[in-house]
Structure 1
């Protein structure tokens, strides 16, 4: 296998697509759909990411990828490329306790709750992680106008260089929708994996502070943001 081929590293996969990092091309991320018929969905994600990226900024802890180009085929992969079947990201679940022992362990899909994050000593206070998670979600809602459905918040590093600084990322935008009401935003929040802290749990206040901070630029946005948080409290008490 050539150096070109081994420089493409698999970082995650789902039912829709697999993501790779092309290390020799300034760590460009490639997303390959599972089925060619899903290419239209990938194109829609590309277009929505193009619209979203300028609105969310790049100064927050979590980075959103910039969509560079859409390819309708897999022709850009080296001919001899073989999927290495490994992933090097971990999902940040501040809304779930993952410490209960399980019979099966999947190292390719490893969730990080607050307890595991604290043991990793990632160099960023968990309160800041929760706050910036709220800030980014709020920007997606009120600046970009999307509901944030099925987005992921992850921690990533580099398996060949453990000393390299780890990074916090937000990706997977293929299910984004525009929204019309606070209820739409609540439904998307609850449909996602438990990335966000829940009301009454540790770090909820930090998440809430970040979410409201980014909505404070407009009176209407602030009202909707407060309604979203209030509805979440009500729904999760049921």
Structure 2
């Protein structure tokens, strides 16, 4: 297969949760640029419609769907409307996420549960529903968005987000386990772990702590608006057909430092 063809996503249908802004919008745009039809899902559906209107300029089909991944009925509806509209679900990007900052000794348990409900439980239940469709198709790609914060501890000055960190560590383990369990069905499960990217969720914290963050990044910069495009297309395409159960770190070299 020609290498250009390996990255071509024409005729594929991709679902991106949390896809209306930030990293989700960046990845949704990349998939559309590679030729995929894209379903943009988020709790605030108005922003999904706005992004879909932009993506249609790329001559792909789009669909905006309201979805709170922590709600089982929303996940079921998202999978159902995707299959009804496009007849297939080839790529699932589990990007929807939530965080809450608080002292770990006094972390509110309701916020702990809310973070895990979205970042871990919601991710799993949507993946399982999508996998049933992919199993019937004989093929599918699931890409979970983890974080370098899931690798270990962070100081409270940089990330006082114990529930978020724990959830992202769990996402990495879940990725490996589902990859092994679903490989026999032709379903690939991988993860991307971004480093420090300014988004609507993290921009304020990164601006405040830039002096603490940049010394930890060998490339000495934050993530840019195009830095996830290549990785998401790679893991969604035939170019990664011998890759499963892996976590691709996109973080400027943070994990290379001892």
- Fold conserved (TM > 0.5)? no
* TM-score w.r.t. length of structure 2: 0.28
Pair member with larger Rg: 1
Please state which structure has a larger fraction of its residues in helix.
2
* TM-score w.r.t. length of structure 1: 0.30
